[in-house]
A and B are shown apart, each in its own frame.
Chain A
Amino acid sequence: MKKHPMLKYLKEEGPLGPRMPLIFCPGCGSGQVLNYTLYAVDRVIEEDGISKERFLFISGIGCSGRITSHYLNFDSAWTIHGRALAVATGALLANPQFRVIVFTGDGDTGSIGGNHFIHACRRNIDVTILCLNNGLYGMTGGQHAPTTPIGAITTTTPYSNREGAFDLCKLAETAGASYVARWTTAHPRQVIKSIVKGLRKKGTAFIEILSQCPVHEKIPATTLLKQFRKNTVPFSKAGELTDGKTLIGEFCDVERREWNEAYQEIIDQFLIHDGGIDE
């Protein structure tokens, strides 16, 4: 039996029993994002020689949160709703060498985690944020989220949603992230490339990935993936004229001081260098 090439990075079993199959619904985008992430991590391990121990996966709560739960054959943390970035900040304070990937959702990032999201970008801490955006709260049954489009019917907007939606990429860019991109689960190679870029970037990389929820949309995954390709247009090609489609692409890719690097300078001024006391 030949196994999927990325299973080497998952714990099919633990000492006290099996951990797979993954808990996600059939066709869920979360499994795909995990798959793409592992391809990207594999590339960074092979090409850059980064050891497996340096990687740290942290997630919040929701379907995206379950990606870490107990599957990864890496160090990981399944933390509280919206606070993955705060935990990530703490981990990097303890060890700035971690390569941190944060799995979060549109509600986890844009609602309860909004404050931590903008401050993580502002500080430009060294994380790669993968925001799985399905436009609703999946795990709890399909309630509307700050990214739900106007007019959508959800379990908490039964009369159609009247609230506007965040553009999380614009928020990230304004708050100060050094790399911002949006793709969909129907663009695997672009997602992988962006994750690799994010892992190599010293600073906050925010990658929004539109991800399908076949159960709450009540549309098969294959159809939703086709819709992702049809209803999106690359930023580089469209400029501002989008014809009602969602912009995808890399919005921002700049060099900015990363938090721990800047703080190290403060610590270093108190260290004695060879040859005597610093003046």
Chain B
Amino acid sequence: MAKTPRDRKGVVSSPDLGLLKPGKYYLQGNQACIEGALMAGCRVYAGYPITPAVETMEYASQRFPQAGCRFIQMEDEIASACALIGSSWGGAKAMTATSGPGFSLMQEAISIGVMSETPMVIVDIQRAGPGQGYITASQQDIMQARWGHHGDGPIIALAPSSVQEMFDFTIEAFNLSEQWRTPVLVMAEETVGHMREPVLVPHTDAIETIERKKPQDLGISPRDYLPWGHDTVAPMANWGEGYNVNFVALVHLEDGNITKYSPQANYHCVERLQRKIEGNVREIARIETKFLEDCKHLIICYGAVSRTGMEAVIEAREVSGLEVGYIRLVTPWPFPEEQLREIVGEVNTIFVPEMNLGMMRHPITEALRDRCRKVVSIPSLGTLHSPEYILSKVREEVS
């Protein structure tokens, strides 16, 4: 990291070099993401320009060298995602940001990251699809986040709803990826990416950063080291530390042997990836709730829609006298099915407003179908739902 900041004219709006000093800053969502990454200890950004994630890249190209870190514009999104794997195993926390079309290209590398248990952070500033779609906001990649990479193996995804959360959740994404040795996605929308809001940056002492477990710290010698063993989350030796780590993404034994294939070895290798995340949903997944005690209906949202969803709930209760409850999936993945079933009692209707034609409504229906009369999807393409729009759909259904 740079030793002390120095003013340099004409480069960025940040008044300081290195890490931001504690204070209040007026930032764009995409910029806040980068500041959070630097706070979390990210040392490498490898990306490719795509609207609406371009500002993350441009801002990173300015801020990363100021903080002694490295930025590179790669030749395509595939190269960007692969560079993250190389950087992570080379010992550096690494990230990239992209949007739908680029996210599709990265899926093979994400799959490799899942299998090899590589900590890496990918930010998807979602735009309308399919195809080139448009550059307005959407939540159309939320299923691809979980199921887009080929093969089994779950993933962790966070959905920020404000510029402050772009800062906070990016730090959390790095922490989760290091703690669970997995790629972590920050599923933002163009709305949040391009929004400008004040961000409160705390003192670095108040920010918790998590580093990957190392075999050196656990007293495991290179001879006895199992790169994918020892524990639910294996300690991770990086290249250059004398552990002679053979990175592989083929079905492997815990020591990295890829010759002794058998259906049992295959099951063991892949099932433990599943169990590592899905078996720890309670620790990983976060839900926010409000007004659940007496609610007759429920609105479940995630990402930017959470803000207008909350507004709609408040208006429904205060103006229309409807007893509506609110649940926000802070981490859409891993999906907190058990926790939802624990906190949701009998309700009449569950509404799921999404900036897509209805995607998270499926696992929600699977989890809560028996707790309600009906699950109703409230889609909005090309624009963020307004509270009035959500409320009108609720009233329509309820009356």
Contacts and interface: CB of A to CB of B under 8 A. Distances in A.
A and B touch in the complex (CB under 8 A): yes
Interface of A: 11, 14-19, 23, 52-54, 56, 58, 68-80, 83, 86-95, 97-98, 115-116, 119, 259-260, 263, 266-267, 270-272, 277-278
Nearest to A112: B78
A95 B240 contact: yes
24 contacts: A15-B223, A17-B257, A23-B259, A56-B240, A68-B246, A74-B244, A77-B86, A77-B247, A79-B85, A79-B112, A80-B82, A86-B80, A90-B46, A90-B94, A91-B87, A93-B83, A94-B44, A98-B240, A116-B75, A259-B72, A270-B2, A270-B66, A271-B3, A277-B6
Interface stretch (B169-177, B248-256, B276-284): B248-256
B241 interface: yes
B17 A90 contact: no
A97 to B, nearest CB: 7
Contact of A90 (B84, B246, B249, B252): B84
Nearest to B61: A266
Interface of B is mostly: loop
Contacts of A58: 86
Given A74-B244, A116-B79, A80 B249 contact: yes
Given A70-B259, A78-B250, A90-B88, 19 more contacts: A15-B226, A16-B226, A16-B253, A17-B257, A18-B259, A69-B246, A79-B112, A90-B46, A90-B83, A90-B84, A92-B86, A94-B43, A94-B87, A94-B88, A98-B90, A270-B65, A271-B68, A272-B6, A278-B6
Interface string B172-201: 000000000000000000000000000000
B83 A87 contact: yes
Nearest to B6: A277
A158 to B, nearest CB: 30
* Residue of B4, B79, B85, B92 contacting most chain A CB atoms (<10 Å): B79
B82 A119 contact: no
Interface of A is mostly: mixed
A68 B83 CA distance: 18
Given A76-B246, A78-B246, A89 B83 contact: yes
B43 A267 contact: no
Given A70-B258, A76-B246, A271 B2 contact: yes
Contact of A80 (B3, B44, B109, B254): B109
Contacts of A92: 86, 90
Interface in B21-49: 43-44, 46
Interface in B347-385: none
Interface residues of B, number: 60
A98 B239 contact: yes
Nearest to A267: B65
Given A17-B257, A76-B246, A89 B72 contact: yes
Nearest to A116: B79
A259 B74 CA distance: 12
A70 B239 contact: no
Given A15-B224, A16-B260, A17-B257, A79 B82 contact: yes
Contacts of A70: 246, 248, 252, 256-259
* Residue of B89, B92, B246 contacting most chain A CB atoms (<10 Å): B246
A94 B91 contact: yes
A119 B256 contact: no
B296 interface: no
A86 B82 CA distance: 6
B86 A270 contact: no
B389 interface: no
A56 B109 CA distance: 20
Given A93-B83, A278-B6, A78 B244 contact: no
A73 to B, nearest CB: 5
B258 A91 contact: no
Contacts of B68: 267, 270-271
A53 B72 contact: no
A2 B78 CA distance: 46
Given A74-B244, A77-B86, A93-B46, A14 B74 contact: no
Given A16-B260, A90-B44, A270-B66, A79 B90 contact: no
